[in-house]
Structure 1
Amino acid sequence: MKKILLIGSGGSGKTTLAKELSAKTGLPLFHLDAIYWRSGWVQTPKAEWISVIDRILQEPEWIMDGNYGGTLDQRLSACDTVILLDISPWRCLWRVVKRRLQYSGRSRPELAPDCPERLDAAFLWWIITYRFKRLPYNLAKLSAAEQSGKTVAILRTTAQVQRFLTEAPPNNSFKPKPLRSGNGVAG
């Protein structure tokens, strides 16, 4: 486990798990939100974004936290492990509201300066509909990744996330035990 991709709904805990895995394994961490968003919530131009992602993917080791569907295929191809956090939408909503209150008027540490925490109807709707609109697409991608030899873990509860983290040794030789789920993909 040297190239780990974390994906999931907003508020699912990707950033927190990525930080904890990086601290435990020593793998370098790349928060895609911090790379994509520039000061003032300005998007990185598409060509530059793809170039940056390509450079990171060439690194020998990494943990990458974020969705960004436009580069998902490249990231899935380059990773050896993918973790999908399929946490309840209600828990995700609670977490983003809590995060908004915690960082009101300020940027989170993993974002560029001058990107104060924000919460709008479109983001809330994306979280609410994630399981119906985005999750089936991601599960199909993960099934294909698993068939091509990637390690896939789908974590659906806080207890599963904690168990996964507990089982990770303090170096990057960890190979997670798949947790079986009802959808046929390790989870």
Structure 2
Amino acid sequence: MRIAIIGYSGAGKSTLARTLGERYGIPVLFLDTVQFTANWAERDRGEARAMVEAFMARPDWVIDGNYRNFAQAERLALADRIVFLDFPRRICVPRAVGRYCKYRNRARESMADGCIEKFDREFFCWLMWKGRTKPVRDHYQDICGKYAGKISVLKNPAQVEQFLREIQHSQ
């Protein structure tokens, strides 16, 4: 089983990836751990892409994150299932604030070691505007159209819970 999880920041991609990895007993790759090294330093693009490609060579995986430069087209094509967390700002912003409060002064599991959780003006602007520009929304729409047969678009936490119940019953 290969599952790609995409969506807006703060929607719960990492949490869902961890849940699916545990449920299916398959490895999970958090793309934020590929993008960043300690102290929020960006990893070399070639090295990062090679890491993702090596992970995708496995027979089963869950990959959490958007990152177009990290073999997104290949990742989505290989995935048996794509989950798009299309949550509104009114859900994502409070979740991001809650995550900051929970992990303040430490790095969470889905981040590289030494990347201390932060919630700054730049990230707030990303949550509110920069991460939701028309080109970003259009890109998600293109993905939904191209992969209509294998994508689940979930718009709120209740739909995520329903999705998890449905896949549990289908096992």
Query: Normalising by the residue count of structure 2, what TM-score does the alignment of the two structures yield?
Result: 0.90
Q: How does 1:29-178 map to 2 (within 5 A)?
A: 29-71=28-70, 72-129=72-129, 130-133=131-134, 134-146=136-148, 150-169=149-168
| Matches of 1:101 and 1:85, distance apart in 2 | 22
Q: Is 1:24–1:168's contact at 8 Å kept on the other side of the alignment?
A: no
| Matches of 1:132 and 1:47, distance apart in 2 | 27
Residue type of the alignment partner of 1:91: I
Q: Is 1:30–1:64's contact at 8 Å kept on the other side of the alignment?
A: yes
Q: Aligned to 2:119, what secondary structure does the other structure show?
A: coil
Structure 1 or 2: more helix by fraction: 2
| Matches of 1:139 and 1:98, distance apart in 2 | 28
- What's the % identity of the aligned pairs? 30
Residue type of the alignment partner of 1:39: A
Structure 1, gaps ≥5 residues long: 175-187
- Deviations 1:127-184, CA, capped at 9 Å, x for gaps: 22344431221121221123xxx511000011110011112238xx75xxxxxxxxxx
Residue type of the alignment partner of 2:98: K
Q: Is 1:37–1:112's contact at 8 Å kept on the other side of the alignment?
A: yes
The 10-residue stretch of structure 1 (131-140 or 32-41) with the greater mean CA deviation from structure 2: 131-140
| 1:5 match | 4
Q: Is 1:28–1:62's contact at 8 Å kept on the other side of the alignment?
A: yes
By how many angstroms is 1:92 displaced?
0.4
Q: Aligned to 1:10, what secondary structure does the other structure show?
A: coil
| Matches of 2:122 and 2:140, distance apart in 1 | 20
Query: Number of residues paired by the alignment?
Result: 168
By how many angstroms is 1:110 displaced?
2.1
- Deviations 1:59-116, CA, capped at 9 Å, x for gaps: 1110000111223212112212110001121210001111111111111122222110
| Matches of 2:139 and 2:49, distance apart in 1 | 21
By how many angstroms is 1:121 displaced?
2.1
Residue 16 of structure 2 corresponds to residue 17 of structure 1 = yes
The 10-residue stretch of structure 1 (111-120 or 58-67) with the greater mean CA deviation from structure 2: 111-120
By how many angstroms is 1:54 displaced?
1.1
Tell me how large the CA RMSD over aligned residues is. Answer: 1.7
